[in-house]
Homo-oligomer: A and B are copies of this chain.
Amino acid sequence: MPIDRRPLREQIREELLGRLDRGDFAAGTDINEVALAAELGVSRTPLREALITLAGEGVLESTQGRGFRFAPVSRKEFTELCEIVAGLEGLALDASDPAYLREIAPELLRMARDFPDRIAEQHVIERHDDEWHDLLVSGCRNERLLDLITSVKAGLRRYAHLLAGDDTPLEREAAEHCRVAELLMAGDLAEAVQALRDNWVNGMERMMSRIPAS
């Protein structure tokens, strides 16, 4: 197999995003570059490069002379991000081949029905949810749009761990996914896009109470 030869900055970026998923970092706290670099076993240079990319994705903020910090979470920002992703995924569906959508619809339906039990680990549920959405937009021929969706979703990762230990109404989420899949199977793209948007809005509202008021 070809060995992993990605630039260090990318590996660092992923490591940081992973830690963010696990809630290792408190939002709003400053980053000490030397300390973090030492902890990761790299020098400041590729670390800073990773931090700059993450800042570009909105995961971090930076101020002149004061370095980087994890962007504080807020209901406003969460709402904004969800609106954006909902819109982008809608666009992605619009830019997809209808025939392909009908083709994958059964699989989407199956996945939605097999939604992991509420007993499952939080990250299992998230993984499953991600896979569903990834499959949903996989037919989009606008590659830049797909990249953009990935990038914006990175900004949402900061909110993922806030769900930990929750028994959110998963049935509802599953039901909404089913509805999207069924509409796609029926070939009603416009309605499917609408249902998808509803799914995001509902998920957003379910989450909202867990975000500390800014």
Oligomer: number of copies: 2
User: A interface, by DSSP: helix, strand, loop or mixed?
Assistant: helix
Residues of chain A from 127 to 148 with CB closer than 8 A to chain B in the complex: 142-145, 147-148
Can you spell out 8 A-B residue pairs with CB atoms less than 8 angstroms apart? A49-B49, A52-B53, A56-B57, A77-B144, A80-B143, A80-B145, A83-B142, A148-B148
Q: How far does the alpha carbon of A95 sit from the alpha carbon of B86 in the complex, in Å?
A: 13
Q: How far does the alpha carbon of A176 sit from the alpha carbon of B168 in the complex, in Å?
A: 47
In which size bucket is the chain A interface? Answer: 20 to 34
A58 part of interface (Cβ distance < 8 Å): yes
Q: How far does the alpha carbon of A5 sit from the alpha carbon of B65 in the complex, in Å?
A: 9
In the complex, chain B residues whose CB is within 8 Å of the CB of A151? 56
Q: Which residues of A contact B (CB under 8 A)?
A: 5-7, 9, 45, 48-49, 52-53, 56-58, 62, 64-65, 77, 80-81, 83-84, 87-88, 90-91, 95, 142-145, 147-148, 151-152, 155
